[in-house]
Amino acid sequence: MSENNAMTLAPKKSFLKRNLPVVSTAGPISIWMIIFVMLPLLYILFISFMSRDVYGNIEYTFTTDNYKEMIQPLYLKVIWKSLKLAFLTTVICLVVGYPLAYYIASKPSKLAAKLLMLVMIPYWTSSLVRLFSINQLGMPNGFLNLLLLKLGIVSEPVDFLFSDGIVIMGLLTAMLPFSVLPLYSSIEKLDKSLLEASKDLGANPAKTFIKVTIPLTMPGIVGCVLLVFIPSLGMYYVPEMLGGGKVMLIGTLIKNQFLMTKNWPFGASLAILLILITLAMMWIYTRVGKLDELEVG
């Protein structure tokens, strides 16, 4: 009976059967991204070819001026600076986050879950209040200075506020979970027996780490780089709050176009540029890092 049925419906059924896994897995996310990312992006792309009228509203006449406008040293400098800062943040987060993720993953899973929770809890509080606390701590009459004065390490208050060092520390605190989480989920599945094997074969720990551990956890490192670098590129909030409001990053520039200057078309074209830069970086990154192989692996 059933065989008969299968026979008659064979072509149709096999087509569905062949496609069911793809549709049921990739389908929802595709629909979601098309509706909530691609459609809004089309709107941004559309207004990037419009212009600003005298009162700051959008004038619906086609122009490519916005794209010509942004190719000048001033804006390229801003983009370069954002790239540098994002790169620096990524490197620091990787260097600080990898050992921590490794540490957590090396614990029994019960403990690891708790340790991971402990990393995340601070980030469930308002980032604004956290940044305010960092400011409070560094004030001339803040706890840090009080402590240093009491201990006699310094004779007068040190100026801790608004230095590059503080900004970098702030970025590290802000982005750390973005590096620890992907690293953890990848290190966790690391096959410990391979490390033992490497050791037994006479490799020293450093060699084992470089030749075995790093390649095996590469997907996590890739995830960490993506999740730290990309958001850092568009971020401006932390550098602004901790840098004394004197920074101009691509994120600030775009925000200013939309809110302060009300030049939405120019802001939109800058956003498109930012997206193109990101996609280009990803393209280079996947080529150099041969990520395709990794992901298919």
Partner 1 sequence: MAGEKRLSKRLRKKRLWGRVSNVYAFLVYLFIYVPIIVMVIYSFNDQKNNYYWNGFTTEWYEKLFTNSDLVGYLGISLIVAVAATIISVIIGTIGALGLVRFEFKLKSVISNSLYIPIVVPEVVLGISLLMLFEIANFPLGMTTMILSHATFCIPFVVIIMRGRIAGMDLSIEEASMDLGANRLITFFRVTLPLLIPGIMSGAFMSFTLSIDDVIISNFVAGPYATTLPVKILSMVKTGLSPEVNALTTLMVLVLLVGILINNAVQALLKKRALTNIKSYF
Partner 2 sequence: MKMRKKFLALALSGLMVFSLAACGGGGDSGDSKDAGEVNVYMWSDYMSQKMVDKFTEETGIKVNFSYMSTSEEATAKITSGGGEQYDLVMPCDADMTGLIKGGYLEEINLENIPNLKNLGDAYKNREFDPENKYAIPYFMNYVYVIYNEKTCPVEIDEYKDLLDPKLKGQIASVTGIRNLFPVALVSLGYDPNSTNDKEIKEAYEWLQKYVANVTLFDSDSAEKLIINGGASVGLFFDGQASRAFDAAENLKVAELKDAIQLGVDEFVIPKGAKNKENAEKFLNFILDAQNMADNMQDDHLYSCPNEAAVALMPDSYKKHPAIDIPTKMKENYFLQLDIGDAAKTYDKYWTMLMSEENQ
- Site size toward partner 1 (CB under 8 A) is 99
Residue closer to partner 1, measured from CB, 69 or 291:
291
Q: From the list partner 1, partner 2, none, which binds 214 (C-beta under 5 to 8 Å, kind-based)?
A: none
C-beta closer to partner 1: residue 91 or 294: 294
CA distances, 249 to each of 86, 152, 258 (Å): 10, 39, 15
Distances (CA, A) of 179 to 62, 107, 184, 281: 42, 18, 9, 18
Which of 50, 78, 175, 222 binds partner 1 (CB under 8 A)? It is: 222
Would you count residue 133 as binding partner 1 (CB under 8 A)? yes
Instruction: Give the residue, chosen from 67, 75, 87, 123, that forms a contact with partner 1 under the rule CB under 8 A.
Output: 123
Nearer to partner 1, 212 or 250 (CB): 250
**Which residue blocks in the chain are alpha helix, DSSP H?**
2-8, 10-33, 39-47, 65-70, 73-106, 109-120, 127-138, 143-150, 164-187, 192-200, 205-208, 214-216, 218-234, 237-242, 250-259, 264-289, 291-296
- Contact between 122 and partner 1 per CB under 8 A: yes
Burial (Cβ within 10 Å: 0-12, 13-18, ≥19) of residue 180: buried
62 binding partner 1? (CB under 8 A):
no
User: What's the angle, vertex CA 68, arms to CA 65 and CA 70, rounded to 5?
Assistant: 110
Residue choice 83, 88, 100, 148 for contact with partner 1 (CB under 8 A) = 100
Q: What spatial distance separates the first Cα and last Cα of the chain, rounded to whole Å?
A: 41
Q: Which of 60, 95, 132, 154 binds partner 1 (CB under 8 A)?
A: 132
Among 113, 154, 197, 284, binds partner 1 (CB under 8 A): 113
Tell me the two tokens of residue 267.
């802001």
Which C-beta is closer to partner 2: that of 127 or that of 256?
256
Q: How many CB atoms within 10 Å of residue 97?
A: 26
Q: Which of 231, 248, 262, 289 binds partner 1 (CB under 8 A)?
A: 231
Distance of closest approach, residue 192 Cβ to partner 2, in angstroms: 29
- Which own/partner pairs from 16-24 qualify as long-range (CB within 8 Å, at least 24 positions apart)? none
List contacts with partner 2 (CB under 8 A).
52, 54-57, 74-75, 77-78, 81, 132, 135, 139-142, 157, 159, 161-162, 164, 243-248, 252-253, 256-263, 266
**Which listed option, partner 1, partner 2, none, makes contact with residue 267 (CB within 5 to 8 Å by class)?**
partner 1
